[in-house]
A and B are shown apart, each in its own frame.
Chain A
């Protein structure tokens, strides 16, 4: 560890003396100081805070990604400047030199990210301290942004038994007898999907019970829980408004009951906040949705007033589980994991290539990692087996092979959650450390070390 730390220290000192890190610190400073005053959002305080968080974390992440790649040039510089000749005659294993360089870059990233994190936190608090536009703005800021909330999805009822019964009924009615191909399992699944689809649609004057489990919140009346929902309506009401009531609580379990009548615009995200004592002691929560829109109007049945909750996350209950500071720390930890990976990419390339080539290679990986989902989607049409020849072979084996090692950076991006005040879980951070740092970064570093150990460190001109 001694030699690794010596090289890491040297890398830190080098980056400061050569003004690489300093120039990035300057850029970060300018950005972070300027952004709070430039962030307006929707002209509410909560909007400005969300805009600032979004821009600042993105900018810090992007700048430090560039820095991580640039700093890896210290290895290329040692090779081209031949300082490596002096260095490699000292008692330091080559792998320790490579790891030391990487570790130095990660230390610089950590230091800068910490400073940036403190600045982001400070400026967020500064923005939040400004007078809110109204109570909703203040409540949104406090309860939905400057916090770490856990989101729990509703439980979809199990329709397996009913689907089975319906299937048997269909068989008895001979609905499948005329079909050339009949798959029993598939037919049952289709029936069950139809039943779930119908369950998601709440007809006028009907109600629907949404059950949530594992709502581990502070159940005191002072504490609040938030129901976040988005719905569609079968028809398009002329005023774009639907009427309904949410009723929170379970009388059988002795919880408080809170009815929340609403008149909301359709196709938008809405939030209802109620005291947390409507949650049962077994951490379950019942919420009943009553569609108050008329069933019959002008002598006709109004199917158009059917409210549909299409997706599994169409109704979610949020409750606070942590602080904004903790959430920001975990978000920046995920950023640091990405930076460690990028530093390893840069270092691995620099052990073989000169600076411009290594830099270009590392940037390519950054691009591929950022657009992985999109690019994999673009080749997903190609069957794994078939007769497309070389193109198929290349796309299936090389592209997918490359993507085995290149991570999907979107999976490690928790910015949306941070901005939305949703909890970035510690488990997520730990899993990212495991998969991105301990596995993929280590693989890259081992590759870099092996390449560096095999190569001659000097080119002799005769």
Chain B
């Protein structure tokens, strides 16, 4: 087998039995796990709570030792320190140092990768920008909400530009926007050729981003294959079309009944709540509603392999996707490139327009002072919570108006 085609991860007959204080077997967490993850693959480990996903991941990372079986990561045992240079890991909770702020956290982990000062600082700033924490970077991690902690957790996992990224429940604790952003990051990292192992019990997460999945239950593999293979409904045919006249529909029905002796169901497709929510928030952001907490996610940093000229910021892709998807039922997620390429010009204009210097009555000058630089897609703007609060309160009318206009 050539080196290039070596699987990134290979497990053979992997077992893990947890023992009690007296060394008696207590729980068999993983049983005979055989998986192989190829380079560039986004692999999903799916299963309910307690199915052994996290145990399997921790064995792959050398944090737990298998009771039986063999693991190979990049052809080496997981305890080999050298392979850690090529791995990024986001645990199921962001286990970070509460006394450090976001910058110090990334700095600390960057140092462990022996990154030089300039490189470390650049990466740190780019990652903070990417996860939308640039403006909250001097707050202690202990003060972060769970969602913000997940974001900084993801940033630390990417600090070394890993070839193999392990994400354990990456979207847990995140709001829909955060979830969407993280999923988008995963998709784009996958497109850049990173190998990703994603563990989740949230089916939508896995379905949206994974090339191949493995479903665990009781520590055993229950099913494995590509999403398409596993989800294909071979006994159903779906016809999609732009809005049809009633007589056309009736004619189609009669043709199907006559030829196939089967009845067909005709309905108007509905959009996904996630997309609707995103659209609302984006409109609010365009209207510059005040907020705190995590801001908007920025571009995928260049060091992770993002093209410099693709203009590929997350916000753009989100807007593009939401703009299209709110109008029609989405099919399973494609790569961002396959999403409608035409951005919502109005929203982009709003985002890139310099803020007005005028003060609102009763507003402090500090609050009213706009950002000095144009609000581009890579600039984190406002955080989620107060967007929602704004939407619930005084900004309702403005948001409604924007939506009406949109």
Contacts and interface: CB of A to CB of B under 8 A. Distances in A.
Interface string A60-90: 0000000000000000000001111111111
A462 B27 contact: yes
Contacts of B99: 13-14, 17-18
A225 B298 CA distance: 78
Contacts of A92: 81, 84, 112
A85 B91 contact: yes
Contact of B58 (A10, A85, A90): A85
Contacts of B111: 2, 6, 9
B63 A458 contact: yes
Q: Is the interface of B mostly helix, strand, loop or mixed?
A: mixed
Nearest to A456: B64
A138 interface: no
Contacts of A89: 61-63, 84, 87-89, 166
Nearest to A458: B63
A3 interface: yes
A83 B112 contact: no
A230 interface: no
B325 to A, nearest CB: 35
Interface string B60-101: 011111000000000000000110110111010101110110
B82 A91 contact: yes
Interface string A5-17: 0100110011001
B107 to A, nearest CB: 10
A10 B91 contact: no
A81 B142 CA distance: 12
Interface in A24-57: none
A353 to B, nearest CB: 14
B91 A91 contact: no
A14 B54 contact: no
A405 interface: no
Interface in B19-66: 27, 29, 50, 52, 54-55, 58, 61-65
Most buried by B among A10, A14, A89: A89
Interface string B229-249: 000000000000000000000
Nearest to A83: B95
Given A456-B65, A460-B64, A462-B29, A91 B54 contact: no
Most buried by B among A18, A84, A457, A458: A458
B113 interface: yes
A81 B95 contact: yes
A93 B81 contact: yes
A462 B64 contact: no
A104 B247 CA distance: 81
Nearest to B54: A460
Nearest to A93: B81
A84 B82 CA distance: 18
A308 to B, nearest CB: 65
Contact of A86 (B27, B62, B95): B95
Given A14-B97, A83-B97, A456-B63, A90 B54 contact: no
Interface residues of A, number: 27
A431 B61 CA distance: 43
B93 A82 contact: yes
Given A86-B96, A88-B62, A460 B18 contact: yes
Contact of B108 (A6, A81, A458, A460): A6
A373 to B, nearest CB: 38
Q: How large is the interface on B (under 10, 10 to 19, 20 to 34, 35 or more residues)?
A: 35 or more
B81 A85 contact: no
A90 B113 contact: yes
Given A85-B95, A86-B156, A462 B50 contact: yes
Contact of A91 (B61, B65, B104, B113): B113
Contacts of B64: 456-458, 460
B58 A91 contact: no
Interface in B81-135: 81-82, 84-85, 87-89, 91, 93, 95-97, 99-100, 104, 108-109, 111-114
B108 A457 contact: no
A291 B231 CA distance: 112
A460 B199 CA distance: 15
Nearest to A19: B99
Interface string A421-433: 0000000000000
Contacts of B27: 462
B303 to A, nearest CB: 17
B109 A88 contact: no
A81 B99 CA distance: 13
Contacts of A462: 18, 27, 29, 50, 52, 55
B123 to A, nearest CB: 14
Given A458-B58, A462-B29, A82 B95 contact: yes
B142 to A, nearest CB: 10
Contact of B91 (A18, A86, A90): A86
Contacts of A93: 81
Contacts of B108: 6, 10
B85 A91 contact: yes
Nearest to B93: A82
Nearest to A10: B108
B91 to A, nearest CB: 5
Given A85-B58, A85-B91, A89-B87, A460 B112 contact: no
Interface in A439-462: 456-458, 460, 462
A64 to B, nearest CB: 22
A341 to B, nearest CB: 28
Nearest to A7: B112
Contacts of B156: 86
Contacts of A458: 58, 63-64
B93 A91 contact: no
Contacts of B62: 88-89
Interface in A207-235: none
Nearest to B111: A6
B65 A83 contact: no
Interface string B176-211: 000000000000000000000000000000000000
A135 to B, nearest CB: 57
A2 B114 contact: yes
A456 B84 CA distance: 17
Contacts of A457: 63-64
B89 A86 contact: yes
B144 to A, nearest CB: 15
Contacts of A6: 108, 111-112
A105 to B, nearest CB: 17
B119 to A, nearest CB: 14
B86 to A, nearest CB: 9
B249 to A, nearest CB: 52
Contacts of B81: 91-93
| 8 closest residue pairs by CB, A with B | A17-B99, A89-B89, A91-B84, A82-B95, A90-B112, A6-B111, A462-B50, A91-B85
5 contacts: A85-B63, A85-B95, A91-B85, A462-B50, A462-B52
Interface of A: 2-3, 6, 9-10, 13-14, 17-18, 81-93, 456-458, 460, 462
